[in-house]
Structure 1
Amino acid sequence: MGDVVSSHLDESRQEMITARTRDVMKEFSDVFEQQYSVALFNSVRFEIEGGGGTQSQLLHRKDALAGRSIFSGSLFQYLEENRKWRNRFVAVPNSYTISLYESKTAHERGLHPKVTINCAGYKVLTSMEEYTELINTSLPGIKAKAGNSPFIKCASQFPLILWHPYARHHYFCVMTEKEQNKWHAVLQDCVRHRNNGLPEDCTVQTPAFTDAVRLHRQAKGHYGTWDMMCGTPPQILANLVMETLQPELRSVIGPRLKGKLQQRQRDWMLISDAVYRQVLSQTTGQYDALVEGCEAQRASLDARLRTDMDQIITSKEHVSSKIRALVLPKAEQLLQASVQPYISSILEALMEPTSRGFSEVRDVFFKEMVDISKNSLNGAGKDKLGDHMERLSMLAFHPVKMQSCYEKVEQLNLEGLQQRFDVASPSVFISRAQILMREQMDNAVYTFMQLLQQSLETQGEEDMCKTMQRCQDRVLKKYDYDSSTVRKKFFRESLLQIIIPYMLQQLSPSCSPELPRFEELIFEDFSRFLLVENLFEEVVLQSVSKDIMMAVKDAALQRRHNLYRDSMILTNSDPNLHLLGENPQVDWAARFGGDEPEGSVGGGRVEGGGSGSRRRQVVSMIQLDGVPLPFESCLEVPGVELIPEEDAEMLEGDEEDRGPPGGPKSPDSVDGIRDLINPVVELVLPVPQESRSDASNGSNGTEPTTGTVTMQDGLQEHVTHVTTTVEDFPRKSPRDKTSPQTILQQLVGSRKQEADEERQEEAAIKNAIEEIETAVQGDERERTAEVFAADLDDESSPRPAPASDFSSRYDSGFQSQSNEGPDEDEPQPITNGLNGEDKVVDPVEVEVVLA
């Protein structure tokens, strides 16, 4: 595979990729430096003038995942090097970077992972059909047949695929649907978190970067939202380079790929990943140098801004008024004809799924509180309360529990509006809404815990249930206010994000040629902070902001989707509560003596901590009932054709049908260990009815003795104790009985003795047959019968060969009708016991049990 990459990406082509990346970064750097000064001006102005929206009613904690890991478990990974599935231990720390290890032991020892995946820009797929549909469009000019199979065969019917338009794909699979659902939620949360890679607390660098990317794409004719605006700035810049570079390389390299369709798709993915990694390494270094250069000038720019702020603001208002006179008439005409009729439709498409998602957040929080209250009322100990509070503290970061909330927003559909307003995909708005939902859930949980801590300190722990109920009602009321505020802000920003690019695209052809003449109105000293392009966009934004604000306000006045009016939300309504936000987080497990929360075992090491310190894990391990977790080392999955297609219900069956998961267990008692060292042989012999009463009076017991016994395999075992046990066995009919002599020989004879006896029996049979043939040659049949009877009588007498055994075994075939045998209805006693003495035993079945 490396040969494929090196053959198509030779030095000349790599130099071309480097040059293309350098050109794109040069263009972006010029725009970023300009936007950095503008963003610094806006930040300093906001700091001086103040202002802002409504104060949040809920508290916010800074580092909720400190000392935590998200998830760890085992799944199967497809290795492209040898095209086999191998078991991997996966750890997801609080950075949401996926790390794959050979085994759990390697992870616990702190070894480097085999693979590290940054999920920014990825998409999680759960079916091979969906993946096939995406890769069939990877190469130009190739129309794959419907139902064309991919180049990999999944080892189970529950795949998990990480797909990226440029980077390497990752293939996993699990064995049950339950595992697939949990892993899908975890992987989606990793993608969601890593896509949100631009820190909002950077009031200068983040807006400068986003505006620079937007203006750079607009200069290339790409307006509207961009679904690859995800990840850290270097990753976004790599996507920006690949947006134009990949189609060009694909058209050049694609026709030169050889082999079948699946092989060409595989080779192209390897080539695309190599190009992406090369571009990402360049964008990372160049962007870091760019930011370092801008930050070096920040102090001098900040001092100049604070000195000339009033003059800069006056100059900006003057130039904006001139631009407004040019742009506003055209903007209002476009707004009335092509935007206003669609604002309500766009808003409704955004409000319904988003509000259902925030309502589901409220319900999930309420259900968790009800569960805690139930356990408190049922008399659960304080240690249980500590466990519940620890799990509640991580509710917002539990992907599985939050999945129902996220699914509500995923139903957001802008079909019909996407084409008109050039919206690439609703994924941008879905991801943003889900991030806000998680923040609101964590704020509600954190506020509840701080209120409960305050109440316990002032009122004590006497009536815990009522105290929790009061705190819960207080938090839910504040959540309703904050949820309304956050959603309204989200709706306004989303409408602007959809409408403004469309209006700029429509107005730019007529307005952009007129903008350069306004640069003469800006003083040279202020030219770094006032850019004509930004002033033009601000005028367009102001023209549509009034209509957007009115649409959202009407929805709030009508109380649609539980939106509140702004006047109902009080500013600084609870100052005592916000003082609690400065208190440190409460360790509920330590306070109430609780154990580690769910899933704490198996977490990774705390960064910077010692070997003994471990992270508490947010999501529990996947363990089906009755099914062990055997994936503790790097195991190889057998060939696909050898893997049975088992249903999840079969794997989740009753434990009684499957036996112990760990196999045979070692004995726990002393007697069990002694039995393993000294094996026990049980001989079950019948006892006559008249002697059973005597035996039952005291014959049961163990007596020490010495001797040896020969086993069936010929080995002799030393006997130390003899235990006598009397049990009742039902008597069988004599018709069903076997010869007593045979039973006794089977009881006391070894294999060697039986072999000798069988040889002697064969010799006796042979002699008898020869004598019979001699007698048959005579003329008289009576003489023949007498000779035959005499021979049989001789066999009954003592002879070297064990003829008695022969007659007992084969009496039915060689006895004359004239011979008077014993009556079948009368059982005959058996003599000659085990030790040679004359012993009478009841002729019932004798069993031998070897333990």
Structure 2
Amino acid sequence: MGDVVSSHLDESRRGMITAQTQDVMKQFGKLYEQQYAVALFNSVRYEIEGGGGTQSQLLHRKDPLAGHCIFSGSLYQYLEETRKWRSRFVSVANSYALSLYDSQAAHDRGLQSRVTINCAGYKVLSSMEEYMDLINNSLPGVKAKVGNSPFIKLDNKFPLILWHPYARHHCFCVVTEKEQKKWLAVLRDCVRHSNNGLPEECIVQTPAFTDSVRLYRQAKGHYGTWDMMCGAPPQILANLVMETLHPQLRHVIGPRLKGKMQQKQRNWMLICAAAYKQVLAQTSSQYEALTEACEAHRAQLDARLRTDMDQIITSKEHITSKIRALVLPKAEELLRTSIQPYINSILEALMEPTSRGFSEVRDVFFKELVEISKNSLNGGGKEKVGEQLERLSMLAFHPVKMQSCYEKMEQLNLEGLQQRFDVSSPSVFISRAQILMREQMDNAVYTFEQLLQQALEAQGQDNVCKTIQKCQDRVLKKYDYDSSTVRKKFFREALLQIIIPYMLQQLAPTCTPELPRFQELIFEDLSRFLLVENMYEEVVLQSVTKEIMMAVKEAAVQRKHNLYRDSMILTSSDPNLHLLEENPPVDWAAKFGGEEPDGSVSSSGEGRATGRRRKQVVSMIHLDDGHLPYESCLEAPGVELIPEEDAQSVDSKEEEGDEEKSSEDPKSPDSVNAIRGLINPVVEVELSAPEEQLSAASSGTEATKGLITMEDGLLEEVTHVTTVVEDQSEISPQTILQKLATIKKPEAEDEENEENPEEEGEEVAVDESPQLAADSSSQNDSGFQSLTNDRLSVGEPLPIKADLGEEEEEEPIVSPTQVEVHLV
């Protein structure tokens, strides 16, 4: 195979590739130097003038994946050299890069990986048919026959293919469909994270780079979105080179490929991957030199900016006003006729799946906390609660648990709008929304952890369930506000990303030729910071921003999207909450379960922690029968942080079997109301009295305080008694006292009181915090259409007459009543 690559990519063609790469980098470098100065000006101006967006209610974790390995397991890899399948141990580091080892032992010993795959730009495929369609379309003029067999044989295995338009493909497989679904979630998470754009913390380099790429492509006539704007800057630049180089190589080399159709396809993939590898190596070195040169002049430019800031701003406003006079009438006409009628359609297409996705994030978070509360009440023990909280901390990075949220966004359909506005595909918006979902989930989890830690330090660990519920309700309120703010920002950015390129393309024939004359109005010493092209685009942006803001504001009024109205401003109810953001992560296993078990690992391996057991965020595979054939998808040894949903279902089936054996066993409550019912139970007792006492008894409710001796010998406090007079046959006082003494309380309450008898006198407010409602139509229209306006319908307790504690010594005969006892 190496002969095929070397014969088609000889020295002359490699020289041609190098020359074309240098040409692209030269043009890009000029744009980058210009945009770097403009980005620095904007950064310094923002710093001086101040400003900022809405403050988030949730806390942000600085480095959520520090010290964690995302996932590890075994797969079969197809080796192109030998055309055979080989078992590989796969480790996904916190950078989301795939590292392939010969075996798990090689990984544990810290040996060098066979290959490391950066997933940026890849697409995950789960069928050979889809893969062969892409392969068959890669070489024009070479038509595959219908039903042509693929050159990769699976033998009843389930494929997992990483496909890239330029780089080398990677083919894997597993032996069950269940494993395939889980590995799909893992691989898609790796691709999603790798495609997450450039870091926003680089407030100068990132905007300079993105604007330079956009202007370069616009000069070539490409105004719309670009699917290959993913990965690190050198990868994006390599994609930029291959955008023009790839068709040229295909036109020159394609007709010269020899052999059968499968052989031609295999050879072309190898040639294309070799060319891309060469381009990537050159863009990496040249981009590094470019950024170093710009950073070397940064201090000088910064000093100049701070000295002449007022003069630069005045000159910019003067020139912008003249450009606006030229462009604004044409832009408004274009906006009125060709864009405004479609804004609501685009927004509706974006909002529906996005709102469902963020609502699913809220539901997943809520269900996880309810599960923790259930186990804390059902005698799970503090160690079990600590394990669950430890798993909760990495919930946002669990590919399987988050998959239901991501799937909602994958239903986005912009068909019809894509052709009109030159949108290549909705994948750009889908990936961005999914990243925002993951960020909001992690923010909610981190805020909950900090609030719970603070509450436990103040109140202790005696009533964990009650503390969890209070913290959960506070976090859900904050999540609703932040998710609304994040979604509205996402909608505005998506609309701009769709509309602005279309407007620039339509206005280019009439406006672009007029721009050079405005350059003469800029002083030469200020020309580095003021570019006519940037000011022109700002005018176009301002012309459509008002329409987009109004469309999003109107959409916020609709209940179905659960958005805050713009008039609603939520002030932070926790003024000192953001001080907790600087706290270190909470080690729940140590807090609830004591010392972490011994299991330190060697520090010789790359990326390994010392002094404690290495953590793994996701333990993906649940072994139903205790054995998985061919060692596929094995877990890392001794690491089990997040259980599988299937495992929970198996546990639930076992619990159902136990319940059939003994109907008296405590059951897990299905809602927060049921949990509160276990904390604050109600007991009904029917008693009878002789007929002569009926006249003295009357129906009614009365708050009271007293004690009742239960069957287990414990004293329970009574807060309310409701008396209901009924017709009863005559009964002796001894029988009444006997019935009163045999009152039984729920077994779940027995267990809780035996463990924490000092908590018996505490009360829980029933309607203390909002919960999910079954019907959103019952929400109050207070200007905030979010799920936190809903309330669970909790029945008011019915107090009763009769103070059971006043005449306890005389053992009085109770009137014929139906007693409703509230135990606290």
TM-score interval, normalised by the smaller of the two chains: 0.7 to 0.9
Contact 2:174 2:632 in 1 (8 A): no
Does the C-alpha gap of structure 1 residues 633 and 488 become closer, same or farther in structure 2, counting only changes over 3 Å?
closer
**Residues 179-258 of structure 1: pairs in structure 2 closer than 5 A:** 179-258=179-258
**4+ residue runs over 3 A deviation:** 594-597, 600-614, 629-635
**What letter is aligned with 1:181?**
K
**What letter is aligned with 2:75?**
L
Q: Which has the larger radius of gyration?
A: 1
Question: Which residue of the partner structure matches residue 628 of structure 1?
Answer: 627
Does the C-alpha gap of structure 1 residues 114 and 344 become closer, same or farther in structure 2, counting only changes over 3 Å?
same
| Cα displacement (A) at 1:411 | 0.6
Question: Which residue of the partner structure matches residue 315 of structure 1?
Answer: 315
**What letter is aligned with 2:330?**
K
Question: Which residue of the partner structure matches residue 501 of structure 1?
Answer: 501
Does the C-alpha gap of structure 1 residues 634 and 38 become closer, same or farther in structure 2, counting only changes over 3 Å?
closer
Contact 1:90 1:99 in 2 (8 A): yes
| Cα displacement (A) at 1:621 | 4.6
Does the C-alpha gap of structure 1 residues 115 and 594 become closer, same or farther in structure 2, counting only changes over 3 Å?
farther
Contact 2:73 2:633 in 1 (8 A): no
Does the C-alpha gap of structure 1 residues 393 and 604 become closer, same or farther in structure 2, counting only changes over 3 Å?
farther
Question: Which residue of the partner structure matches residue 420 of structure 1?
Answer: 420
**Residues 769-788 of structure 1: pairs in structure 2 closer than 5 A:** none
**What letter is aligned with 2:204?**
V
Question: Which residue of the partner structure matches residue 615 of structure 1?
Answer: 614
Contact 1:360 1:404 in 2 (8 A): yes
Question: Which residue of the partner structure matches residue 489 of structure 1?
Answer: 489
Q: Deviations over 1:580-633 (max 9, x none)?
A: 112111111111116979xx9999987565676543111115243225256569
* Secondary structure at 2:321 match in 1: helix
**What letter is aligned with 1:626?**
D
* Secondary structure at 2:231 match in 1: coil
| Cα displacement (A) at 1:224 | 0.7
- Which one is further off, 279-288 or 569-578? 569-578
**What letter is aligned with 1:70?**
I
Contact 1:604 1:614 in 2 (8 A): no
* Secondary structure at 1:575 match in 2: coil
**What letter is aligned with 1:376?**
S
Question: Which residue of the partner structure matches residue 367 of structure 2?
Answer: 367
User: Distance between the aligned counterparts of 1:219 and 1:535, measured in 2?
Assistant: 17
**What letter is aligned with 1:441?**
M
Question: Which residue of the partner structure matches residue 73 of structure 1?
Answer: 73
Contact 1:85 1:155 in 2 (8 A): no
Alignment coverage as a number of residue pairs:
635
User: Distance between the aligned counterparts of 2:154 and 2:135, measured in 1?
Assistant: 16
Question: Which residue of the partner structure matches residue 748 of structure 2?
Answer: none
Does the C-alpha gap of structure 1 residues 571 and 540 become closer, same or farther in structure 2, counting only changes over 3 Å?
farther
Q: Deviations over 1:754-809 (max 9, x none)?
A: xxxxxxxxxxxxxxxxxxxxxxxxxxxxxxxxxxxxxxxxxxxxxxxxxxxxxxxx
Does the C-alpha gap of structure 1 residues 633 and 53 become closer, same or farther in structure 2, counting only changes over 3 Å?
closer
| Cα displacement (A) at 1:151 | 1.2
Q: Deviations over 1:712-736 (max 9, x none)?
A: xxxxxxxxxxxxxxxxxxxxxxxxx
**What letter is aligned with 1:485?**
T
* Secondary structure at 2:249 match in 1: helix
Q: Deviations over 1:457-510 (max 9, x none)?
A: 111112111111010000000000000000000000000000000000000111
Contact 2:343 2:551 in 1 (8 A): yes
Is residue 449 of structure 1 aligned with residue 449 of structure 2? yes
| Cα displacement (A) at 1:560 | 4.2
User: Distance between the aligned counterparts of 2:421 and 2:335, measured in 1?
Assistant: 13
**What letter is aligned with 2:265?**
Q
Contact 2:75 2:632 in 1 (8 A): no
| Cα displacement (A) at 1:242 | 0.2
Q: Deviations over 1:4-61 (max 9, x none)?
A: 0000000010000000000000000000110111111111111111112110000001
Does the C-alpha gap of structure 1 residues 605 and 568 become closer, same or farther in structure 2, counting only changes over 3 Å?
farther
User: Distance between the aligned counterparts of 2:611 and 2:133, measured in 1?
Assistant: 47
User: Distance between the aligned counterparts of 2:500 and 2:8, measured in 1?
Assistant: 42
**What letter is aligned with 1:616?**
K
Question: Which residue of the partner structure matches residue 2 of structure 1?
Answer: 2
* Secondary structure at 1:172 match in 2: strand
- Which one is further off, 608-617 or 71-80? 608-617
Does the C-alpha gap of structure 1 residues 118 and 297 become closer, same or farther in structure 2, counting only changes over 3 Å?
same
**Residues 308-387 of structure 1: pairs in structure 2 closer than 5 A:** 308-387=308-387
Contact 2:161 2:172 in 1 (8 A): yes
**What letter is aligned with 1:459?**
Q
**What letter is aligned with 2:57?**
Q
User: Distance between the aligned counterparts of 1:364 and 1:54, measured in 2?
Assistant: 26
Question: Which residue of the partner structure matches residue 775 of structure 1?
Answer: none
User: Distance between the aligned counterparts of 1:560 and 1:518, measured in 2?
Assistant: 48
**What letter is aligned with 2:496?**
L
**What letter is aligned with 1:276?**
Y
Contact 1:69 1:603 in 2 (8 A): no
Question: Which residue of the partner structure matches residue 39 of structure 1?
Answer: 39
Is residue 169 of structure 1 aligned with residue 165 of structure 2? no
* Secondary structure at 1:171 match in 2: strand
* Secondary structure at 1:21 match in 2: helix
Does the C-alpha gap of structure 1 residues 255 and 96 become closer, same or farther in structure 2, counting only changes over 3 Å?
same
* Secondary structure at 1:82 match in 2: coil
User: Distance between the aligned counterparts of 2:601 and 2:145, measured in 1?
Assistant: 45
Q: Deviations over 1:794-845 (max 9, x none)?
A: xxxxxxxxxxxxxxxxxxxxxxxxxxxxxxxxxxxxxxxxxxxxxxxxxxxx
Q: Deviations over 1:694-722 (max 9, x none)?
A: xxxxxxxxxxxxxxxxxxxxxxxxxxxxx
Contact 2:602 2:610 in 1 (8 A): no
User: Distance between the aligned counterparts of 1:615 and 1:285, measured in 2?
Assistant: 35
**What letter is aligned with 1:215?**
L
Question: Which residue of the partner structure matches residue 259 of structure 1?
Answer: 259
User: Distance between the aligned counterparts of 1:263 and 1:419, measured in 2?
Assistant: 36
User: Distance between the aligned counterparts of 1:570 and 1:561, measured in 2?
Assistant: 18
* Secondary structure at 1:178 match in 2: helix
Question: Which residue of the partner structure matches residue 564 of structure 1?
Answer: 564
Stretches of structure 2 lacking an aligned partner (at least 5 in a row): 635-645, 651-824
| Cα displacement (A) at 1:558 | 3.0
Contact 2:68 2:94 in 1 (8 A): yes
Contact 2:409 2:430 in 1 (8 A): yes
* Secondary structure at 2:550 match in 1: helix
Does the C-alpha gap of structure 1 residues 605 and 93 become closer, same or farther in structure 2, counting only changes over 3 Å?
farther
Does the C-alpha gap of structure 1 residues 450 and 8 become closer, same or farther in structure 2, counting only changes over 3 Å?
same
Question: Which residue of the partner structure matches residue 582 of structure 1?
Answer: 582
Identical-pair percentage: 80
User: Distance between the aligned counterparts of 1:604 and 1:164, measured in 2?
Assistant: 35
Contact 1:604 1:615 in 2 (8 A): no
User: Distance between the aligned counterparts of 1:494 and 1:5, measured in 2?
Assistant: 42
| Cα displacement (A) at 1:143 | 2.3
Question: Which residue of the partner structure matches residue 815 of structure 2?
Answer: none
Contact 1:162 1:171 in 2 (8 A): yes
Question: Which residue of the partner structure matches residue 461 of structure 1?
Answer: 461
User: Distance between the aligned counterparts of 1:474 and 1:12, measured in 2?
Assistant: 66
Question: Which residue of the partner structure matches residue 127 of structure 2?
Answer: 127
User: Distance between the aligned counterparts of 1:603 and 1:546, measured in 2?
Assistant: 59
Q: Deviations over 1:390-413 (max 9, x none)?
A: 100000001111000001001111
Question: Which residue of the partner structure matches residue 296 of structure 1?
Answer: 296
User: Distance between the aligned counterparts of 2:633 and 2:413, measured in 1?
Assistant: 43
**What letter is aligned with 1:494?**
A
User: Distance between the aligned counterparts of 2:568 and 2:632, measured in 1?
Assistant: 59
Does the C-alpha gap of structure 1 residues 107 and 608 become closer, same or farther in structure 2, counting only changes over 3 Å?
closer
Question: Which residue of the partner structure matches residue 828 of structure 1?
Answer: none
| Cα displacement (A) at 1:75 | 1.0
Does the C-alpha gap of structure 1 residues 226 and 595 become closer, same or farther in structure 2, counting only changes over 3 Å?
farther
User: Distance between the aligned counterparts of 1:439 and 1:590, measured in 2?
Assistant: 26
**Residues 100-111 of structure 1: pairs in structure 2 closer than 5 A:** 100-111=100-111
* Secondary structure at 1:229 match in 2: coil
| Cα displacement (A) at 1:384 | 0.6
| Cα displacement (A) at 1:157 | 3.5
Q: Deviations over 1:281-320 (max 9, x none)?
A: 0000000000101111111111111111111111110000
Contact 1:96 1:193 in 2 (8 A): yes
TM-score (norm 1): 0.73
User: Distance between the aligned counterparts of 2:594 and 2:513, measured in 1?
Assistant: 70
Does the C-alpha gap of structure 1 residues 144 and 366 become closer, same or farther in structure 2, counting only changes over 3 Å?
same
Contact 1:387 1:588 in 2 (8 A): yes
